[in-house]
Amino acid sequence: MTQRFRLCSVEDLAHDQPRCYRIELGDDKHLDVFVVRHWDKIYALENRCGHAGAPLHRGTYTDGLIVCALHGAAYRVDSGEIEWTAILPPPMSDYSSSDNPRIRQFGELIEAVETLPVKAFRVEVDGDTVYVTLGQPTPETTE
Ligand code: FES
């Protein structure tokens, strides 16, 4: 089943400036949607990093990619596919070789967290209003 939700107006979206909009789904459930406009294209993803769940709109958008602010995983905004996985900076990258067993265990856990793709949503513009459709397997963008 698919459902279309109003997100915002086109004029609310500054060029290359990601935003987050919350969709209320009922029964106290909601979905946070990452949205970015790049010239005349608008893209929407689930606003939750596929590594450890950080909000993607707080990341850096560049060249069709959103780079997560927390550990640097990058996703294609047109598909939600992974461009590169999370990068653990020092000292986190050294934890798994620590002499301290508790720190080593923590490091091994951190390294075991996978980076997964994020959901991309179909975007439609009707007049000046931006909509996303949930429940469709293949995302499409709009112009
Ligand atoms: S939460 Fe996004 S890269 Fe770790």
Residue 122 maps to a domain: yes
Residue 141 maps to a domain: no
Q: Choose the residue to mutate in 45, 48, 49 for probing ligand 1, maximizing ligand atoms within 8 Å of C-beta.
A: 49
Residue 20 maps to a domain: yes
Residue 143 maps to a domain: no
Instruction: Give the range of the structural domain holding residue 66, as residue numbers without chain letter.
Output: 3-134
Query: How is the beta sheet containing 82-84 ordered, strand by strand?
Result: 60-62, 65-67, 74-76, 82-84
Residue 36 maps to a domain: yes
Threshold 0.85, pTM exceeds: yes
Residue 11 maps to a domain: yes
Number of separate domains in the chain: 1
Q: How far is CA 141 from the centre of its chain?
A: 15
Residue 140 maps to a domain: no
Atom of ligand 1 nearest to the CA of 72: 3
Say if CB 32 and CB 47 are below 8 A apart. Answer: yes
Ligand 1 proximity of 52 Cβ (cutoff 6 Å): yes
pLDDT tens track of the chain, all 143 residues? 889 999 999 999 999 999 999 999 999 999 999 999 999 999 999 999 999 999 999 999 999 999 999 999 999 999 999 999 999 888 888 999 999 999 999 999 989 999 999 999 999 999 999 999 998 665 555 55
Atom of ligand 1 nearest to the CA of 50: 2
Burial 88-125 (b: 16+ CB within 10 A, else e): beeeeeebbeeeeeeeeeebeebeeeebeebbbbbbeb
Ligand 1 proximity of 36 Cβ (cutoff 6 Å): no
The three state secondary structure string of 14-46 is CECCCEEEEEEEECCEEEEEEEEEECCEEEEEE
CATH number for the domain including 10?
Answer: 2.102.10.10
Residue 139 maps to a domain: no
